[in-house]
Amino acid sequence: MKHCDHNIQEAFQLVDRMLDLANKGDAEREDVGCGILYGVLRDSAYKVKKLAEKEKQAHIQKGWWKQKNH
């Protein structure tokens, strides 16, 4: 796997972690400020995921992407 593809794969892992933390934090929050924080974290995760998917597709089209998952 190319280094650039590996980095995209790591971005997907980061997105998963961001979403897990946003869900956990939202469930355990005790004030509105934390709700805003976890909402921003969730929104950011989805933006990163969208960008990573776009780059993954570009790498697939170039014939670089060798791994089938994520």
Asked whether residue 49 is domain-assigned, the answer is yes
Between 3-28 and 32-61, two packed helices, what is the crossing angle to 10 degrees?
160
Asked whether residue 21 is domain-assigned, the answer is yes
Q: What pTM, to 2 d.p., does this model score?
A: 0.88
**What is the b/e burial string over 3-22, where b = at least 16 CB atoms within 10 angstroms of the residue's CB?**
eebeebbebbeebeebbeeb
Of residues 67 and 65, the one with the higher pLDDT is 65
Asked whether residue 36 is domain-assigned, the answer is yes
pLDDT surpasses 70 at 6:
yes
What is the domain extent for residue 54?
Answer: 3-61
pLDDT tens digits along 13-59? 999 999 999 999 999 999 999 999 999 999 999 999 999 999 999 99
Instruction: Work out how many domains the chain is built from and give that number.
Output: 1
pLDDT at position 27 is 97
d(CA 13, CA 19): 10
Of residues 8 and 1, the one with the higher pLDDT is 8
Asked whether residue 67 is domain-assigned, the answer is no
Asked whether residue 66 is domain-assigned, the answer is no
